[in-house]
Structure 1
Amino acid sequence: MSRLVAFAAIQGGYKVVSQVEGELEKALASQDAATKIGFGNTAYYLPVIYSLTGMKCETLEDLRKPLEFARGLLPPHVKGQNHLPYLGPLLDAGMAGIFAYEVKEALRILREPEFYTFTEDPDIDAGKIWVGPADDTILRKRGVEFVDGSAPGFAAIVGAAPNPEIAKMIVEDYQKKSLYIFCAANHNGKTVIEQCLEAGMQIGWNTRIVPFGPDISSAVFALGFANRAAMAFGGVQPGDYRRMLMYNKNRIFAFVNALGDVGTEWAVAAAGAVNWGFPTLADTDIPEILPTGICTYEHVVANVPHDEICQKSVEVRGLKINITEIDIPLAFGPAFEGERVRGGDLYCQMGGGKTQCTELVKMADMKEIEDGKVEVVGPDIADLKEGDTLPLGIYVQIAGREFQEDFEPILERQIHHLINYIQGVMHIGQRDISWVRVSKGAVEKGFSLKHLGIVLHAKFHQEFQKILDKVQITLYSKKEDVDKLTERARAEYKHRDERVDKMTDEDVDTFYSCTLCQSFAPSHVCTVSPERTGLCGAYNWMDCKASFEINPTGPNQPIKKGKVLDPKLGRFEGVDEFLKQASKGAHETYNFYSMVHAPMTTCGCCECIAAMLPSCNGVMTVNRDYAGETPCGMKFTTLAGVMGGGAASPGFVGHSKFNVTQKKFILGDGGLLRVVWMPKSLKDEIYDRLNARGKEMGVENLADMIADETVGITEDEILPFLQEKGHPALNMESLIS
């Protein structure tokens, strides 16, 4: 081990501790010692200090103790030409520096409370790009990903690349491997975060590019996040420093990339990270520590080329990532699932009420299809100009010795998140209400409709190889072809839905979850029962059961419904317990059969949204493809924006079209007989089922009693119609009592 490494790290430790001691004394001289300090909205105080020592720092005076502890860790200065090649003094100096950095950041937050946004995403328009330490809400949402493997680790990048293009290349390389990128520090006044913005990238927790702060001290937030994950999900107790550090070494696969000149302050941070088993790889010529010891392999590696730093970092950390290249001109991976394609960046779109967009997966005979064949029938992206729309039909044929018809909707629903994995492409909805938006950046890189098929072919093979052998995909973009596919698809959807038509919630003791939409609505948890189909319309109870059989660790998990807490509203003990865990604590309970009392959460993929109409003592429902005004005063798009992000909003609820005529539909609020308005197109679509269900409930010709936009689009306009028809809702008990 180089004497220069020891000298730099130990010098850095002394420098940082002394500097922060001075800052603390200055703060104590100007403010009361009992002044509250902390990182905000966290039960973990200053998390590195608390997790490793058990010290609870809540006031300015409390900061003296960890700084005294840090001072005691500092080893003797390196003297003479001969230095014992031992890591111990470096680790102590590094830990002292990390403690001091955490105190420094607490003082900064006290001194400049508006410096960090403390949010998932920065406020770029306001010039505030630094989010600071993650609060416990973000920890619960993101930390579990490091435990369940959906985020295999994180790259802590300090400094800046030589230019924005190189920064973008490095960061995207990590995104492709599903890693988080925690960014801090600057090199000559420039940060990799600013370079990412210059390169047109979206930053924030949702894209896994986290802008912690502009100084090397901000890197302590990454270590604090790792330690809090160990306490929250690994059961490690505060003060159990040995278990804490071993947990991180063995479970949190992280490393540091130092981009730029490494001075003493960076050196002490790197030495501190080694305590966690996190190695440092630099793009400059710095002294190396190559023997194994604390880290899995090398501790410090120098002169790593920028185009190799990602792969080399993964190798040195001992992280195993199974990556299969997909031949498209855009980056691809879960890190892009949270991206939005907003108006200013939109090049073209398919569906979303502008055109028809339909998806259908069907089982085929092995001899009928050719594996890997992807065909575009009709115009492609290159034939469009900015702002254009296209109809789109995505038709996937699958053959396999183990494939069953029951598996069709499961793979069909995967289209949603797999398309979202493509950088610059956004997908919402499912079945015949899908919506695909393509960004200008994606088009500039050569994106084509064919690339949708290439992605689906590759990912279906990767994720479902046990049940399929061949995948062929046809993408239709001519209106007549899309309409023909849509007509066929709707018949298939109807057949699937009717499979559970005779089942009741009392017939089963297990419901199923669906969390596929959490990329856009993180707190949304859909629970599917025989009489409460998924609000997207794509999944019923049997679909979820089949999905769990295919992928036991996937988004459709069995939920033992347990004790029935309220049979009228539809509240179940087992569902409540699952909901608390799956929503990361955002929700504690909801009811299956009510929109008034603690309704289910709603995401943006719902087919319909129901809303109360108090003056009519009833409810309305509006489907996604109706673009007009409604009696509640909001269009579908407005309703979805207000309560479609995973919210549970009394008086509103998302649901599927099929659910309208299921026996338990808002049964706790009066059931189907409460429905007084819906768009004519929806009423015509389910007309026979409306009358059949109404007859079961004692009302003949119910569909003709329900108003639509031809009657009116306000409560005042439709009330006389309801009175003339003798609608049953008018004589029911008050909906808001």
Structure 2
Amino acid sequence: MSNLIASATIKGAHSLVDRAETAWQNTLARYGTGKLIGFPNTAYFLPVIYGVTAQKVQTLGDAAQVIQRCRDILPGWMNPDDTLSSLEPVLNAGLAALFAEEIIEAIRYLEMPDFYTQSEDPRADNVWLGAADDIILRKRGVEFVDGSAPGFAAILGAAPSNTVAAKIATDLQQKNLYTFMSASSGGRRMSEQLLESGVQVGWPTRLVSFGPDVSSTVFAIGFAVRVALSFGNIVPGRSKELFEYCKNRVYAFVMALGDVNEEWVATAAGALNFGFPVIADTPIPEIPLAVVADVPHDKIVNRAIDVRGLKIVVNEVPVPVAYGPAYEGERVRGEDIYLECGGGRTPMVEWVTSKPIDDVVDGLVTVNGPDVNEVSAGAKLPLAILVEVAGRQMQDDYEPILERQIHHLINYAQGVMHIGQRDIAWLRISKGAVEKGFRLEHIGKLLHAKLHQDFGRIFDKLQIKIYTSAEDVLAITAKAKEAYAARDSRVAGMTDESVDTFYSCLLCQSFAPSHVCVISPERTGLCGSYNWMDCKASFEINPLGPNQPVPKGQTLEPRLGQWKGVNEFVFKASRGAVDHYNFYSIISDPMTACGCMECISAILPLCNGVMTVNREFTEMTPCGMKFTTLAGTIGGGVTTPGFVGHSKYNITQRKFLAAEDGIKRLVWMPRSLKEEVSDLFNERANEIGIPDLLSRIADETIGTTEEEILPFLTEKNHPALSLDPLL
């Protein structure tokens, strides 16, 4: 390798370690060794340090050991003409640089708590988002799991112009990649260039403005490390396994835009440890398959993808705006709204229904009523989207599967915002999209193209009828509601005993190889995305996909929920890591979890009950852990007695924790979760003869420790207190 790179890396690493030590010493003098430091609402301390070394940095005193470790692994100074026999000193210098950057950023959080927004979106007065908290990690981690986000680009610096910056960002978005931005070149930063160009920046659009300095790049590497620890069950301190996991499962690369200084080089060398190559637009020395230089801006995205070995498939969709998952989180607000439908402003409904094959003309799109170009900016219209499908393989059970796709497929269009489904949908079309020629007919065209691409094997023809007159929309809504009710009754009446086959979901194995999710009628997927009917239809649509039939076989433990056939499948699918688990128990060998569960339940011995917390709740819980810590404890495909991951809907299913008396054991939930599940929960509570059970369950307004909530439970005569002891 080039000795010039080695020399620059080592100098840059020394500079960063010096900066970290100086900042640490100054802060230590003010606060003392016991002062807490870290990244807010993250489970893995300072994740790069923790993942590589297993050291938990929680206080300023802990940082002393890290700085000493940096000094220990830092190579001595070298001249550009010195001989370097291996890459090891460069990689060690890179690790020291990353460790130092985490110390720098942790101290910044302490000294300047408002420096980062700590949110998904920039604010008008602050564009720097800082480290992703665990809510974001798990929410976005699902996209890496299911392949809708094949990887990420960590961009340092800025493009030579705002136009080039926007073009690079758009190329990355259209290839579904996340873009993590940090550092400056020539006094400019790419995230600022995008905002000046009118491009929406933030986690929802996959253009993430981590921070203004090179040290902020460590948030991108930390994101990859947390994926490995959370989803991959990598043991902290096993650095070789961590590096291999990131190289083989987290597809990322570094893109350096502008003049590369020594601290940049050291940071990039740190990324090389994780298998992340560096692609630069300047003529720096190269390392085959690791550092690629002097790449033109119009080729840099494709070159980076080639070097990293990413497999990206982009299908053309006949719409006049950019299209892809990266635009799913885009927001259309205020003065930018050209047309608004639904959302409580007007009636709106979406319905997929089967028709005889002779009644469907494939590709036909009709708009009945005013279109976008026939109304003024800011207009509101009622809207019905009626999708009629036909084919020899089409079944009624497939209709909700196709209908559920409407939300994200419309949202993939740049400048179009869609929320909700069925008859509570909400659509906004931006002025920018209309200026580019977007019309209501394009909703039909994109649905036709994408549904054929993704689900064409189950139907032969598809036509879309769009209505914007109130009379038509209300008439279609009435028919759609009858169809919704019929579908819901089919699923609601099913029990685990009524079927011989469950279904697997192995999507999360791309990150958590030993996790096996098995879904039954009364045990939905823990991520909340799949129920038994969804999996059945998914298998019939794609027999080689992640949802495979699992014959129950002999019942081994009816109270706990364990079957011989399920055990055999779990053992095989986990590659021998897990030989059995129980569907209905939190204490006796509960199900594995991958890290993307909606909720986590934990036992509360003092209260003889169970608490559950959703990932949106960021505060302390009565089990003594926040959601982030809980997720780090039970994620990664392990079975953890006393803890179990589950979906929100599962709380209201009859088999929820049935081995421990079900919802009678629930003694604490966040208030927001209680409100979210209240309707279905109250139905279940009525079934078991305790109609006011929800009001007897404590929340954070009552307390966040067992000692605080026990008097409330006693006062309310909570049924858990009179049940047999949990332990």
Q: Same fold (TM over 0.5)?
A: yes
- 1:598–1:557 distance in 2 versus 1, CA, 3 Å: farther
Tell me, in whole angstroms, the C-alpha distance in 2 between the residues paired with 1:304 and 1:558.
50
Structure 2 equivalent of residue 360 of structure 1: 351
Q: Does 1:41 align with 2:41?
A: yes
CA distance in 1, matches of 2:333, 2:488: 34
The offset of 1:324, in angstroms, is: 0.8
- Mapping of 1:539-688 within 5 angstroms? 545-547=536-538, 549-550=540-541, 573=584, 584=597, 586-588=599-601, 647-650=672-675, 653=678, 667-668=687-688
The match for 1:725 is: none
Amino acid at match of 2:432: G
Name which of structure 1's ranges 552-561 and 483-492 shifts more when overlaid on structure 2: 552-561
How many angstroms apart in 1 are the aligned matches of 2:540 and 2:439?
Answer: 34
Equivalent-residue separation in structure 2 for 1:651 and 1:66 (angstroms): 44
In the alignment, the residues of structure 1 paired with residue 35 and residue 534 of structure 2 have an alpha-carbon distance, to the nearest angstrom, of: 57
Residue 96 of structure 1 is matched in structure 2 by 96
Contact 2:16 2:101 in 1 (8 A): yes
**Offset of residue 419 of structure 1:** 1.4
In 1, Cα distance between the equivalents of 2:345 and 2:466?
Answer: 18
Where does residue 417 of structure 1 map in the other structure?
Answer: 408
- CA offsets 1:322-374 (integer angstroms, 9 cap, x no match): 21121222232223323333344322122334333232323344454443333
Tell me the secondary structure at the aligned position of residue 360 of structure 1: strand
Q: Secondary structure at the match of 2:121?
A: coil
Q: Do structure 1's residue 378 and structure 2's residue 369 form an aligned pair?
A: yes
User: What secondary structure is seen at the aligned counterpart in 2 of 1:653?
Assistant: helix
Task: Give CA deviations for 1:543-569 in whole Å, capped at 9, x if unaligned.
Answer: 77535643686899999999779xxxx
Native 8 Å contact 2:321 2:433 kept in 1:
yes
State the alpha-carbon separation in 2 of the partners of residues 7 and 252 from structure 1.
29
Residue 312 of structure 1: how far off its partner (Å): 1.6
One-letter identity of the residue aligned with 1:87: L
In structure 2, what is the equivalent of residue 630 of structure 1? none
Shift of 1:157: 1.0
Please say which of residues 32-41 and 45-54 is displaced more in the overlay.
Answer: 32-41
Deviation at 1:380, TM superposition (A): 1.4
Q: Which stretch of structure 1 is more off in the superposition, 170-179 or 221-230? A: 170-179
1:66 corresponds in structure 2 to 66
State the secondary structure of the residue aligned to 2:103.
helix
Question: Equivalents in 2 of 1:368, 1:501: separation in Å?
Answer: 32
CA shift in 2, pair 1:145/1:543, >3 Å: closer
1:262 deviation in Å? 0.8
Structure 2 Cα separation of the partners of residues 579 and 351 of structure 1: 40
Q: Between Structure 1 and Structure 2, whose CA radius of gyration is higher?
A: 1
CA distance in 2, matches of 1:491, 1:209: 41
Q: Quick check: 54-63 or 552-561, which moved more?
A: 552-561
Distance 1:506 1:646 in 2: 33
Write the letter of the residue equivalent to 2:233: G
Q: Does residue 390 of structure 1 match 2:403?
A: no
Change (3 A) 1:60 1:176: same
Aligned length: 598
- CA-to-aligned-CA distance 1:163-207 (integer Å, 9 cap, x gap): 333222222322222222111111233221222222333333233
Q: Which amino acid aligns with 1:133?
A: A
Against the structure 1 CA distance between its residues 200 and 136, is the aligned structure 2 distance closer, same or farther, given a 3 Å change threshold?
A: same
Corresponding residue for residue 87 of structure 1? 87
Task: Tell me how far apart the structure 1 counterparts of residues 299 and 175 of structure 2 sit (CA, whole Å).
Answer: 14
- Helix, strand or coil at the partner of 1:473: strand
Matched residue, 1:52: 52
* Pairwise CA distance, 1:240: 0.9
Q: State the match for 1:326 in structure 2.
A: 317
SS state at 2:72 partner: helix
- Amino acid of the residue matched to residue 411 of structure 1? L
Quickly say closer, same or farther: Cα 1:670–1:582, change in 2 above 3 A. farther
Structure 2 vs 1, CA of residues 252 and 652 (structure 1 numbering), >3 Å: closer, same or farther?
A: closer
> Cα 1:301–1:345, aligned 2, differ >3 Å: closer, same or farther?
same
Distance 2:175 2:198 in 1: 20
Look up the SS of the partner of 2:338 in the other structure. strand
| Stretches of structure 2 lacking an aligned partner (at least 5 in a row) | 506-518, 561-582, 604-609, 617-669, 693-715, 720-727
Provide closer, same or farther for how the CA distance between residues 93 and 558 of structure 1 changes in structure 2, counting only shifts above 3 A: same
Cα distance in structure 2, aligned partners of 1:52 and 1:463: 40
**Unpaired runs of at least 5, structure 1:** 292-297, 515-526, 566-571, 591-596, 604-644, 673-733
Partner of 1:202: 200
Q: Is the 8 A contact 1:504 1:531 kept in 2?
A: no
Letter in 2 for 1:261: D
The answer (yes or no) to whether the contact 1:579–1:588 under 8 Å persists in 2 is no
RMSD: 4.4
Which of residues 274, 279, 291 is equivalent to 1:276?
274
User: Which of 176, 179, 195 is the equivalent residue of 2:177?
Assistant: 179
Match of 2:662 in 1: none
Rounded Cα–Cα distance in structure 2 between residues aligned with 1:366 and 1:31: 74
User: Which residue is 1:7 aligned to?
Assistant: 7
> Higher relative contact order at CA 8 Å, sep ≥6: structure 1 or structure 2?
2
Q: Which one of 104, 129, 132 corresponds to residue 130 of structure 2? A: 132
Kindly indicate whether the alpha-carbon contact (under 8 Å) linking 2:75 and 2:89 is maintained by their aligned counterparts in 1.
Answer: yes
Deviations 1:457-490 (A, max 9, x none): 1221222132123322222334454445445444
Structure 1 residue 83 displacement after superposition: 4.0
SS in 2 for 1:466: helix
Aligned to 2:161: 163
Taking structure 1 as reference, are residues 303 and 241 closer, same or farther at Cα in structure 2, changes over 3 Å only? same
Q: 1:242 to 1:378 in 2, by over 3 A?
A: same
* Residue 121 of structure 2: aligned partner: 121
Whole-Å Cα distance in 1 between the matches of residues 586 and 163 of structure 2? 48
Q: TM-score, normalised by structure 2?
A: 0.71
Letter aligned with residue 318 of structure 2: D
Match of 1:354, SS state, is coil
Q: Which residue does 2:18 correspond to in 1?
A: 18
Amino acid at match of 1:110: L
Q: Following the alignment from structure 1 to structure 2, what is the Cα–Cα distance between the partners of residues 559 and 152?
A: 32
Residue 407 of structure 1 deviates from its aligned partner by: 1.5
Shift of 1:283: 1.9
Shift of 1:665: 9.2
Q: Structure 1 residues 670 and 276 mapped into 2: Cα distance closer, same or farther (>3 Å)?
A: closer
